[in-house]
Amino acid sequence: MASISLLQVSVAILCFLILHYFLFKKPHGRYPRNWPVLRMLPAMLKALHRIYDYSVKILETSDLTFPFKGPRFTGMDMLLTVDPANIHHIMSSNFSNYIKGPEFQDVFDVLGDSFITTDSELWKNMRKSYQAMLHSQEFQRFSMSTMTSKLKYGLVPLLNHFAEEGTTLDLQSVFGRFTFDTIFILVTGSDPRSLSIEMPEDEFAKALDDVGEGILYRHFKPRFLWKLQNWIGFGQEKKLTEANATFDRVCAKYISAKREEIKRSQGTSNGGSQDLLTSFIKLDTTKYKLLNPSDDKFLRDNILAFILAGRDTTATALSWFFWLLSENPHVVAKIHQEININTDLSRTGNSQENVDKLVYLHGALCEAMRLYPPVSFGRKSPIKSDVLPSGHKVDANSKIIICLYALGRMRAVWGEDASQFKPERWISENGGIKHEPSFKFLSFNAGPRTCLGKHLAMTQMKIVAVEILRNYDIKVLQGQKIVPALGFILSMKHGLQITVTKRCSA
């Protein structure tokens, strides 16, 4: 019995020493050590808490493309790249060979058959139908009136309240609520009213948070492991399952209500709602060749995809933008100057036409998204084997990860000042907006999958920024740790604690 106990203790000590050796031994050269069995996994686990900055270091020292080797037979091998030539090849010039693929759909299974996860003809037909919806004059007017209304009756009263009280608030949470309410109205026609002084918790918004975190962790685990955890209902996978159930239940409620609303409005002179759910249900199936576009599952998947795309990305971009402004007061002064000399803006307010005149503000927002892209990485898989412009061979069905956070910090791409916040890099010599190629600035995707809501998102960020900068002074609390959270969306891990005061000029 004593000998068995001694053996157990010896094995435990040996396992501890091996683990300690793998995780805490100094790195070997410039790259992660490639062990015989575990290969590069120990180095990744050791750097997981700072994975974004770690990816910057690895990609800069490996000429912008790096093959990561996971343990054999786990499906964790992947090619990391930030090479603009590779990105252009994958996203544009050889677009048809690079798809999301079945493994992507498996990892993002909570999104079902939405425009985010689908490929080929189904995706093409979806995109055509969505393009017609989003670019229609009716939806453009509806989106602008929704944003300005939520600004006037939601964001401004809340900021006024905290300014009067003199208490702190989490600006990232405020932006998340603003964009959540706005996109929820645009998609379903209903206002969840999460943006209020009481700051109520919304179960749908909470489920979105759990999904973002869970999806990222699936990228760092062998497929069999997260599948097992999902089956037994453990850890992050349990949260994903619960989130999925929330999405099913909440979406079903809104779909049912919308069908009833459409039925009641038939035969009346009322044109009906302008929200996307109404457009989905009324979609002409012969024109866009979609299978059952009014089917409840199709509607559920695309409600979720649009809300996910419209909430987190814009809220995250605004949060990093205002933090960067707090670190660069000279940029704030220049934006104030631009607003002040724009007499139309002072007189008529935040119309789309007016905010589009603010070139320097546009550059500052792009610069914030270059350094802190709302989506932290992109993922592609080749149908057939290929050779990238960098010379790297990629096998069919292999995994390619485009690291957006690292891309914005590559000196080989953006120059020696790549790590600096400089809105001027987006201003042309004649004072207009300088447009960078999408394969270099990937925040709105590139090629045929370029974001259809790009202009809508930029307009929303501009009207929010103008309203706040013109009427309030934002002060970021000192001492808080501002770091990106580990997730598919590059949000702030601990939020952004601020105090707000009304400007005298306001």
**Which helix or strand (DSSP H or E) is residue 476 part of?**
strand 472-476
**Which helix or strand (DSSP H or E) is residue 380 part of?**
strand 377-382
Q: 267 is written with which tokens? A: 């035969």
Give residue 170's identity as a one-letter amino acid code.
Answer: D
SS3 per-residue string spanning 248-293: HHHHHHHHHHHHHHHHHHCCCCCCCCCCHHHHHHCCCHHHHCCCCC
How far apart are the C-alpha atoms of 25 and 495, rounded to whole Å? 33
Least Cα distance to 305 among 460, 100, 499 occurs for 100
For residue 151, give the DSSP letter: I
The residues, any chain, with a CB within 8 Å of residue 4's CB and separated by 6 or more, are none
How far apart are the C-alpha atoms of 373 and 355, rounded to whole Å? 22
What's the half-sphere exposure (Cβ side, CA atoms, 13 Å) at 337? 7
How far apart are the C-alpha atoms of 84 and 413, rounded to whole Å? 8
**Which helix or strand (DSSP H or E) is residue 67 part of?**
strand 65-68
DSSP 122-178: HHHHHHHHHHHHHTSHHHHHHHHHHHHHHIIIIIHHHHHHHHHHT--EEHHHHHHHH
For residue 331, give the DSSP letter: H
Residue in this structure with the two tokens 């910090």, named with its chain if needed: 409
Residues 475, 501 contacting (CB under 8 angstroms): yes
Q: 125 is written with which tokens? A: 């037909």
DSSP 212-253: HHHHHHHHTS-HHHHHHHHHHT-HHHHHHHHHHHHHHHHHHH
Give residue 375's identity as a one-letter amino acid code.
Answer: V
Q: Is 15 annotated as a binding residue?
A: no
How far apart are the C-alpha atoms of 80 and 411, rounded to whole Å? 17
Residues 98, 388 contacting (CB under 8 angstroms): no
Annotated binding site: 451
Annotated binding site for heme: 451
